[in-house]
Chains A and B, each alone.
Chain A
Amino acid sequence: MILSPAERSYLYDSLAKDELIRPDARADYQFRPIEVKTSFLPSSNGSARVRLTDGSEIITSIKSKVVLAAEEKSLIECDIDIPGFRDDSNFVANLKYNMTSLLNKSFPFESLKLTSKYAFKLFIDCVVISYSSFPLTFISIACYLALKSTKLPKLISDVNDEETAEQPLFSDDWENAQYLGDLNDSKSFNPPLIIVIGVVGKNLLFDPSAEEEQVLENGIIISWYNNDISTPIHNLNFSVHSNMPNYKGLSQQMIMKSILMARKHCANIVKALDQAIEEQTDDGVIF
């Protein structure tokens, strides 16, 4: 819904106040409630569906393939599909670039190594069924949940195949399949996340809604990996439906402030997502 100048001015003033008031009474660090379902696609290694109360919905699937590690540029390929947009449109290309650079910079690739020559390659496909606000955070949340629920077949052949010309052999029993997170038993597996932060006056808002987006002065995206800030960090125009009439430059302090704010609250977001995964039932039903 596009706001009128009067509505926009009212919303801007309430968001720019020292004690900000958001239209849905959220605190500045609060996300909108999400509904989550994982492991519903039998032909994918991992899958997740994320839905917001405003109807935005994202489905992510993860498929794997055994490849010769030396021949691949990257062991992760991420693709985003938004109906109504061409794959080479700015909007899709931008989302895809952010997700690809996030995953390539912050991912425990060693857990994908199978033998000295072979490795798993993951294909991450996101379908944005519908959206109203800038969907990057929810795409990354859907990827997080799908990666956490990804199961890969158990390797039964020898890990050391430097001399032999043998291809990796897997257990026939799918019951033996392991979660991606358990392959690397040294530390816990936490895929990266991207947090979208809106800037209004001196305030920062996590997860701006479609209405809030229209009065933002700027937008920052911050990545979170292994309990710390990661890259990409940059500013962005989130406008999906309008052209952000208030858009202007970004002061350095706001970047520092947003990093501090992300440090303070991201661990709780990850905790909430992990809890959502634990509450999943293994019924394979999508809705």
Chain B
Amino acid sequence: MSRLELYSPEGLRVDGRRWNELRRFDCRINTHPQSADGSSYVEQGNTKVICMVSGPKEPSNKSQQNSSGAVIEFNVSIASFSTTNRKKRSKNEKRTIELNTTLERTFEQSIIRKLYPRTTISVNLHVLAQDGGLLAALTNASTLALIDAGISMYDYISGISAGLHDISPLLDLNTLEESGMSFLTIGVVGNSEKLSLLLLEDKIPLDNLEDLLAIAIAGSHRIRDLMDQEVRRHANLRASKLVK
């Protein structure tokens, strides 16, 4: 099979983007006001994720209680129709469990847990469509839904993926690109350069890692700004409805 040209000599990618361009990023906050304490919807290219947060609430199981801080549970469910070829996924698939653990570890650091002792915060994520950058989209959706639920956090966590094609770093990969090169996903804390999440499942030469992280951090900051815009838009909308 002839290999698809992922990055042309002219510097264009399969979907016509340049190396440092993000896909269309669209996010909504408070999409499910009736059924969850906090909710959000994120589209990163063709990846679509719904997130619903419930809590802080009393844990259903006494043994899950922690008197020093909130217990955070993630539950990612990937719809069987999310990929081009339909595939039925079991709920205990290793990949999904890994996503849950990664997200739990990330958000345990960014939520101010000590403010909610003896409670559970559960985050339900529904993946409706996936086209690369799944973990990044899940991270962004969770951040927005947690903000919507009014849960205290130190800062935004914005996620993005970046891959290395030969020696050139590419930002925000789609499925085609993900299958053709090694890539990493990062979660950046606010506008800083601190990483709270880094997932690299294959090999990247150490010399190129710095370039790759630099472009990924720049991309994350852009995502953070877009999410911040949406949060402020929604907050203004709510404030305008308050009775003065």
Q: Which residues of A contact B (CB under 8 A)?
A: 41-44, 53-57, 59, 61, 63, 65, 79, 81, 83, 86-87, 123, 125, 127, 129-130, 286-287
Contacts of A53 in B (CB 8 A): 34
Residue B141 at the chain A interface, CB threshold 8 Å:
no
Tell me whether A56 and B35 are in contact in the complex, defined as CB-CB below 8 angstroms, given that A123-B86, A129-B52 are known contacts: yes
- The answer to whether B126 touches A127 (Cβ under 8 A) is yes
Selected A-B contacts with CB under 8 Å, 18 pairs: A41-B81, A44-B81, A53-B34, A54-B34, A54-B35, A59-B79, A59-B126, A59-B128, A81-B77, A81-B79, A83-B75, A86-B91, A87-B91, A125-B79, A125-B80, A129-B35, A130-B32, A287-B41
CB distance from B26 to the nearest CB of A (A): 9
CB distance from A143 to the nearest CB of B (A): 13
How many angstroms from the CA of A53 to the CA of B46 in the assembled complex?
A: 28
CB distance from B139 to the nearest CB of A (A): 19
Task: Name the interface residues of B31-53: CB closer than 8 Å to any CB of A.
Answer: 31-36, 41, 46, 48, 50, 52
- The answer to whether B35 touches A55 (Cβ under 8 A) is yes
- The answer to whether B88 touches A79 (Cβ under 8 A) is yes
Contacts of A125 in B (CB 8 A): 79-81, 86
Residue B142 at the chain A interface, CB threshold 8 Å:
no
Contacts of B41 in A (CB 8 A): 286-287
Task: Name the interface residues of B53-103: CB closer than 8 Å to any CB of A.
Answer: 75, 77, 79-84, 86, 88, 91
- The answer to whether B80 touches A83 (Cβ under 8 A) is no
How many angstroms from the CA of A61 to the CA of B75 in the assembled complex?
A: 21
Residue B138 at the chain A interface, CB threshold 8 Å:
no
Tell me whether A123 and B81 are in contact in the complex, defined as CB-CB below 8 angstroms, given that A83-B75, A130-B52 are known contacts: yes
- The answer to whether B77 touches A130 (Cβ under 8 A) is no
CB distance from B136 to the nearest CB of A (A): 19
The residue on A at minimum CB distance from B35 is: A55
How many angstroms from the CA of A54 to the CA of B32 in the assembled complex?
A: 10
Partner of A61, one of B31, B50, B81: B81
How many angstroms from the CA of A178 to the CA of B81 in the assembled complex?
A: 21
The residue on B at minimum CB distance from A52 is: B34
- The answer to whether B36 touches A130 (Cβ under 8 A) is yes
How many angstroms from the CA of A86 to the CA of B28 in the assembled complex?
A: 30
Tell me whether A57 and B32 are in contact in the complex, defined as CB-CB below 8 angstroms, given that A43-B83, A83-B77 are known contacts: yes
- The answer to whether A83 touches B46 (Cβ under 8 A) is no
How many angstroms from the CA of A44 to the CA of B82 in the assembled complex?
A: 8
CB distance from B27 to the nearest CB of A (A): 11
- The answer to whether B80 touches A287 (Cβ under 8 A) is no
Contacts of B75 in A (CB 8 A): 83
- Besides A59-B79, A61-B79, 18 more A-B contacts (Cβ < 8 Å) are A42-B129, A44-B81, A53-B34, A59-B126, A61-B128, A79-B88, A81-B80, A83-B124, A123-B80, A125-B81, A127-B77, A127-B126, A127-B128, A130-B32, A130-B35, A130-B36, A286-B41, A287-B28
How many angstroms from the CA of A59 to the CA of B80 in the assembled complex?
A: 12
The residue on A at minimum CB distance from B43 is: A286
CB distance from A49 to the nearest CB of B (A): 10
- The answer to whether A63 touches B86 (Cβ under 8 A) is yes
- The answer to whether B52 touches A43 (Cβ under 8 A) is no
- The answer to whether A55 touches B34 (Cβ under 8 A) is yes
CB distance from A85 to the nearest CB of B (A): 9
- The answer to whether B81 touches A63 (Cβ under 8 A) is yes
How many angstroms from the CA of A220 to the CA of B50 in the assembled complex?
A: 33
How many angstroms from the CA of A65 to the CA of B87 in the assembled complex?
A: 12
Contacts of A81 in B (CB 8 A): 77, 79-80
How many angstroms from the CA of A43 to the CA of B87 in the assembled complex?
A: 13
CB distance from B42 to the nearest CB of A (A): 11
- The answer to whether B128 touches A41 (Cβ under 8 A) is yes
Contacts of A61 in B (CB 8 A): 79, 81, 128
CB distance from B233 to the nearest CB of A (A): 14
The residue on A at minimum CB distance from B92 is: A86
Partner of B46, one of A43, A55, A129: A43
CB distance from B166 to the nearest CB of A (A): 30
- The answer to whether A286 touches B36 (Cβ under 8 A) is no
CB distance from B90 to the nearest CB of A (A): 8
- The answer to whether A287 touches B128 (Cβ under 8 A) is no
Which are the 3 A-B pairs with shortest beta-carbon distances? Answer: A55-B34, A55-B35, A61-B81
